[in-house]
Structure 1
């Protein structure tokens, strides 16, 4: 390959990398969970311009959902532990989420190893700069499987 073709290719790749992403991409988030009781990210962010956000949860492990299931739950940070505690009492049939819990902004179903799930939710009533957290409400997971959810201006 000629040196000029190589340099032109690098310039094109650099320009493409610097291009802004489309709103649909900014409003879609992916997060992985595993058999070691971990999310692969401790912080997720979306711009305030998103009307709706889609969160895709992937369980990259192999263990069944009744043994090492995971979900993704979004609440105000101050509500995280109380929602998780109430979720334990709600049980597996309710994906460890108390029915009609107004503190829950969004949540997925519980999935096991090799499974994925999604939730789409509005952020119209949420404020940039407020304190939101995501977590897994499977019993005993909240203390390790949690992170910050940010809405940026």
Structure 2
């Protein structure tokens, strides 16, 4: 059995986050000690590691909840889990494309900086243009 502090140290997940995951239904409510302190089992430790790993991959709490539900049904189709991961992969590729556009725009702006005074700064002028980045997307 682990206290919430011990669980936090073992997983690197902050105590308020552990409580939040309980409230969100991702972690089962733990048993309580005679002093009303939370007492977590090794399965809670495994679940919290699962949640942390999924969060680090950018999965939403809803997606994690769905994966947890799937894991509780061993005869479920792996394709159901793959569908969730494929959606995350699609979202990640979209974010990467956006970040690449941001990188190009910031690079372009930086190269346009050839003035010694802010009064004539191409960066400031560029940022003042309405929807400057969207027009270049």
TM-score, with length taken from structure 2: 0.25
TM-score, with length taken from structure 1: 0.23
Higher normalized contact order (CA 8 Å, seq sep 6+, divided by chain length): 1
Q: Which has more strand, going by share of residues? A: 1
Q: Which has more helix, going by share of residues? A: 2
When Rg is computed on C-alpha atoms for both structures, the one with the higher figure is 2
